[in-house]
Amino acid sequence: MGRFDGQVAIVTGGASGIGAATLRRLASEGAAVICADINDEAGEALVRELNGQGATAHHLHCDVGELADLEACVAFAQGECGGLDIMMNNAFWAAGGWVHTIDPEGWDRSLKIMLTAVFYGCRAAIPALLERGGGSIVNTASIEAFGGEMLASPYATAKAGVVNFTKNVAIEYGRKGIRANAICPGIVETPLADAFKKASVRSPEELANLHAIGRLIQPSEIASVAAFLCSEDASAVTGHAMVIDGGLTAHINLSGRAPYES
């Protein structure tokens, strides 16, 4: 018996990175899962992998910038899988650069995919969750929700919005059995991290050493926390922005001292 036997989950941006890791984790614990992504090749490969392991998995082409696409994913979950219990809004796209150089279209698209799409996903999912008597929503934010980062104002702005929007969902629907939480990862070994490493003036080793654990985070480690938040183990957790950053934001390090190693 798995924690999610009989439950149905949708994960947007599910074809790679944190999304794919979360789909693997939820499926391994009994959930029927739907990968919602524009990357059909990767999404279908993931679904073949999961189905080959005995899971029930589907891939749907989904542009999260279109409300109709998210509504179609929820309708599929209800029609083909019997309902919806878990919605994870995880898709990503971001422009960047110095504020005075950012293309307004890039700014608008960044907020549409990382913030407005979270609203779309919740708007589409909540009626289906209410039909099941409740459920869990997990929205992917970032540690950059709590502080700026050079050349990343669209990303940081969107993620800050995700945190507060998630709180609103939690307070509006908590008495109806819906819990909503945000996860706020640090640097996770994903394609996004690869791009960050190229843009950073720090070496990969320096980036790893910024973390109290001395390394970057694996997608499976984020997935384990997402699964916890979706489970009855977190039945009293809602409206929370959970930082999962390996201790990256735990210290200021004005002293410049190295960690204890003896």
**pLDDT tens digits, one per residue of 60-115:** 999 999 999 999 999 999 999 999 999 999 999 999 999 999 999 999 999 999 99
Rg, Å, the chain Cα set = 18
Beta bridge partners of residue 243, listed in sequence order: 184
At 200 the pLDDT is 79
Q: What is the pTM of this model?
A: 0.95
Q: What is the pLDDT of residues 167-179, one digit of tens each?
A: 999 999 999 999 9
231: pLDDT strictly greater than 90: yes
Query: What whole-number distance in Å separates Cα of residue 95 and Cα of residue 195?
Result: 12
Does residue 255 or residue 206 have the better pLDDT?
A: 206
Task: Report in angstroms the alpha-carbon separations of 53 from 39, 46, 57.
Answer: 22, 11, 10
Query: What whole-number distance in Å separates Cα of residue 169 and Cα of residue 179?
Result: 8
Q: Look up residue 23 and give its amino acid.
A: L
State whether residue 180 is helix, strand or coil.
strand
If pLDDT is split at 50, 70 and 90, which confidence band does 49 have?
very high
Q: What is the pLDDT of residues 156-168, one digit of tens each?
A: 999 999 999 999 9
At 91 the pLDDT is 97
If pLDDT is split at 50, 70 and 90, which confidence band does 204 have?
confident
Q: Rounded to a whole number, what is the largest CA-CA distance in the chain?
A: 59
At 261 the pLDDT is 78
Main-chain dihedrals φ then ψ at residue 19, nearest 5 degrees: -60, -45
Domains of the chain in start order, with CATH, are: 8-186+218-244 (3.40.50.720)
| Mean pLDDT for the stretch of residues 44-52 | 98
At 143 the pLDDT is 97
194: pLDDT strictly greater than 80: no
At 258 the pLDDT is 80
Query: What whole-number distance in Å separates Cα of residue 249 and Cα of residue 230?
Result: 25
At 251 the pLDDT is 85
Mean pLDDT taken over the chain: 95
Alpha-helical runs (H) found in the chain: 17-28, 40-52, 67-81, 104-111, 117-131, 153-173, 191-199, 204-209, 219-230
Catalytic residues: 155
State whether residue 163 is helix, strand or coil.
helix
If pLDDT is split at 50, 70 and 90, which confidence band does 233 have?
very high
